[in-house]
């Protein structure tokens, strides 16, 4: 005798393909508790802070989270998008998602976006996509250069969400695209156009990448090498000499040695070297955020001018610009090969 059929059968849906854009994260507001919640989640990630938990926990909870939310909240307030009452990172990432959805919609592809830390959470969006019928999902971390602190931790969060799903979709992860010819061309042209739009000729252009403790690199993280390669390829594309397009690293945190040269120290030193007109960009970011708009465009400018600089210009990230979206669409379509 055959066993009786289940009383409730899973609903059969048309299978869809999904693309999930993943970015770092942002607090929901600039007040102390909103920023504190975000920082606690971010700085509790063992891929971000590799200090043993028994040592890091009291430092984080008893020291850092007591004073840093006020400082970070003030920084966020300077760049906050008052029209939407959101951070620029959230606004731009959503715009990127909506524009990519418009480009891929004719192929029946569902595009959504999530944050590794904060909201919308990766888990909630993955569950929404699966409920919408996505049986194959491309996880697309929006980091041109790979690092365990960015790409890997974004994928980690997605894998944790998948771990609790009874009916998992098939997934792929989009690799870093630091040396992709289209990315190099798009980034280089954004620099060329950014410089041409200025009312001065920069003595030097800085490519300022987010920093990382040196020991992370020594343990095998490829981020540093990929940053250097991105700038080298862009320099070759533009036909500029090495001294015209420099590499620096920003956002140092704590007392450990980080990747050098430091952006802040370089900005202080350049005027004394006779380089008093500069432009700067942040190629490690796909969307402008607190590290670019507040730390560089505001803080970096103040540091440079205070040191004797005369002209300072910030060149925006690719964001949801036409060329930026062309590049992102091409890379996503390539990674969807065989599914479409």
CB-count burial class (<10 Å; 0-12, 13-18, 19+) for 128: middle
Task: Please tell me whether 291 is known to bind a ligand.
Answer: yes
Preceding omega of 261 cis (within 30 degrees of 0): yes
- pLDDT at position 5 is 61
Per-residue pLDDT of the chain (340 residues; tens, 9 = 90+): 565 666 665 555 679 999 999 999 999 999 999 999 999 999 999 999 999 999 999 999 999 999 999 999 999 999 999 999 999 999 999 999 999 999 999 899 999 999 999 999 999 999 999 999 999 999 999 999 999 999 999 999 999 999 999 999 999 999 999 999 999 999 999 999 999 999 999 999 999 999 999 999 999 999 999 999 999 999 999 999 999 999 999 999 888 899 999 999 999 999 999 999 999 999 999 999 999 999 999 999 999 999 999 999 999 999 999 999 999 999 999 999 999 8
Q: In the chain, what are the domains?
A: 16-177+323-335 (3.40.50.1400), 181-314 (3.40.50.1400)
User: DSSP readout, 279-322?
Assistant: EEE-TT-SS--IIIIIIIIIIIHHHHHHTT--EEEEPPP-TT-H
């Amino acid at each position: 005798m055959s066993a009786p059929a289940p009383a409730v059968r899973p609903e059969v849906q048309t299978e869809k393909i999904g693309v999930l854009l993943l970015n770092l994260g942002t607090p929901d507001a600039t007040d102390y508790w909103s920023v504190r919640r975000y920082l606690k989640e971010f700085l509790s990630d063992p891929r971000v802070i590799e200090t043993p938990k028994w040592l890091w926990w009291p430092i984080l909870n008893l020291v850092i989270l007591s004073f840093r939310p006020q400082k970070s909240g003030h920084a966020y307030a300077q760049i906050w998008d008052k029209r939407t009452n959101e951070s620029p990172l959230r606004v731009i990432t959503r715009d990127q998602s909506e524009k990519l959805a418009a480009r891929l919609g004719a192929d029946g592809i569902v595009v959504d976006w999530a944050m590794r830390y904060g909201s919308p959470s990766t888990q909630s969006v993955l569950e929404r996509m699966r409920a919408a019928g996505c049986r194959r999902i491309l996880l697309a971390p929006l980091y041109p250069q790979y690092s365990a602190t960015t790409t890997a931790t974004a994928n980690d969060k997605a894998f944790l969400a998948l771990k609790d799903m009874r009916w998992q979709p098939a997934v792929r992860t989009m690799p870093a695209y630091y040396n992709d010819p289209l990315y190099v061309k798009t980034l280089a042209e954004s620099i060329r156009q950014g410089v041409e739009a200025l009312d001065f000729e920069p003595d030097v252009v800085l490519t300022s990448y987010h920093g990382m403790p040196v020991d992370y690199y020594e343990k095998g993280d490829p981020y540093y090498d990929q940053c250097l390669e991105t700038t080298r390829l862009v320099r070759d594309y533009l036909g500029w000499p090495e001294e015209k397009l420099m590499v620096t690293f920003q956002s140092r945190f704590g007392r450990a040695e980080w990747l050098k040269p430091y952006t802040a120290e370089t900005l202080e030193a350049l005027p004394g070297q006779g380089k008093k007109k500069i432009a700067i960009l942040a190629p490690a970011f796909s969307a402008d955020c607190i590290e670019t708009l507040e730390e560089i465009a505001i803080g970096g400018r103040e540091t440079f001018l205070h040191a004797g600089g005369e002209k300072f210009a910030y060149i925006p990230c690719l964001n949801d610009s036409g060329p930026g979206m062309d590049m992102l669409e091409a890379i996503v379509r390539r990674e969807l090969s065989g599914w479409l």
